[in-house]
A and B are shown apart, each in its own frame.
Chain A
């Protein structure tokens, strides 16, 4: 891919990011930060290439350390986001004349 195609993808993605992030409800800004943390660790792709390819033992070790760091983020980021999101609950609407509350949709 030439530089201009890559730049085009980048610029378009910035616009997509702009509109998508503005639509995030402020109540979920902390999970937003946690999940962006997790996905920005897609940088693990670079670390994997460095660790997998032959040619430089030093690069391989840097890659492996990079994999460890990025994995902390990926697993930690997604898990903590999942944990937080599971806590957000809607008000239980008391069902009339019934004992059990009905979960709002």
Chain B
């Protein structure tokens, strides 16, 4: 607390000395700037900690410290006439956030993250509007008593990005939570509408530098809300990992734009970190699907096949073999190494816990069990890893695509649960396939493949048939993922 009280004292001193000079713009106190800088550095450490699970929790603590420094500094350096109201607002929001964080099921993380993104977007819009209504408080008045031109551009951009983040995240939330169909909704001429709206926002922001009227900022907000909505509705369920990452990035840019308006280093550093983070995750997701970012944003690819029914071709008449839980239990019990490939279907069926029990039973029989995770498995980056961690699977038994793909040739059993496109060999061989070029697991090299699927009718999100179904060494286990694994566990325990 010594530092903080020194901060307050230092601020007051500078305020007295510089007050006459800084009539229009706010006094910039070096101590205050330093405190925000420290907060920004704490946030860098927060992300740095995530380089390994061992250091990650320490990183999260840095994040909390950084946030505390930023909030306390702000409160100490401004009028605190409305402190009770502020405390009540923090208590209400904090209480809601804390309860949600405690209660949320891990399978629901994608929609929770989308919902949180929408709040950041909305907060950015509110701050932008507040800065417009009370520019003096934010120190953005010029010598003529109007908002400076640079600040107006920053304000317009911040509000626009915030609005897009808000409405886009609301749609993403509704799609991920299943409150809205995951199927792409294609409006005719939507590219023209989107580009036109975007151009209108840019022109209005430019005009805002000349005219400080209320209608301009209101129109920018409204148009940006619409564009966020239009941007996300044509994007299908399978592309959701990219969308969630992209909105993550937008929420960062919104915070950064507000940081520019407020000349606040903590906000600028954080905004840049979050913006970069979301952009990199989007890039990783796109690369893992061999799709360009533009084609994802253009939308229309992949409906919501969580129920096991994509659009397009039904399974062909080629012969396939049906296996039973006993077959799977017997073969895996005899195996030296089993690789389990989970996908979104595992999350839908909530099968992660029974799956971990299965690995325990197999390990007791001396079988080497590994998990293989594709970057786009699930509905957000790292979704499968969290679910497996929740089920107490040690993280050093979980491997990324490139680290494990060479092992399938020495693997006795590949066990596919709720995944489909990520094991489709057409991605390697069939140039006409929509998923051609996507990196996939070489399950065809394993001696035996078990493929849990609800029925033969459904195909993956991409709507393409999968040759793995018809391989000699493949046995299809047609059932709900959780029930099938439970039966396998029963057979293994006998």
Contact = CB atoms under 8 A, between A and B. Distances in A.
A102 interface: no
B47 A42 contact: no
A90 to B, nearest CB: 6
B123 A44 contact: yes
Task: Tell me the interface secondary structure of chain A in the complex.
Answer: helix
A84 B273 CA distance: 21
Interface residues of B, number: 120
Contact of B46 (A27, A39, A90): A39
Contacts of A69: 93, 119-120, 122-123, 126
A51 B89 contact: yes
B386 interface: yes
Contacts of A66: 122-123, 126-127, 130
A33 to B, nearest CB: 5
A17 B67 contact: no
A79 to B, nearest CB: 4
Max chain B C-beta neighbours (<10 A), residue from A17, A34, A80: A17
A64 B98 contact: no
Given A32-B50, A37-B251, A76-B97, A52 B79 contact: yes
Contact of B48 (A23, A52, A65): A23
Contact of B63 (A75, A78, A88, A89): A78
Given A13-B268, A50-B131, A85-B56, A39 B385 contact: no
Interface in B259-289: 259-278, 280-281, 284
A59 to B, nearest CB: 4
B78 A48 contact: yes
Task: Kindly state the interface size class of chain A when it binds its partner.
Answer: 35 or more
B75 A31 contact: no
A25 B375 CA distance: 11
A101 B467 CA distance: 43
B397 A91 contact: yes
Interface stretch (B100-108, B174-182, B202-210, B293-301): B100-108
A26 B81 CA distance: 46
A23 B273 CA distance: 13
Interface in B364-409: 373, 375, 380-383, 385-386, 389-390, 392, 394-398, 400
B8 interface: no
Interface of B: 28, 33, 36, 39-40, 43-44, 46-48, 50-54, 56-57, 59-60, 63-64, 66-67, 70-71, 74-75, 78-83, 85-86, 89-98, 100-102, 104, 106, 109, 112-113, 116-117, 119-120, 122-124, 126-127, 129-131, 133-134, 136-138, 150, 244-245, 248, 251-252, 254-256, 258-278, 280-281, 284, 373, 375, 380-383, 385-386, 389-390, 392, 394-398, 400
Which 6 pairs across A and B sit closest by C-beta, in order of nearness? A71-B93, A76-B97, A17-B276, A29-B382, A53-B137, A50-B130
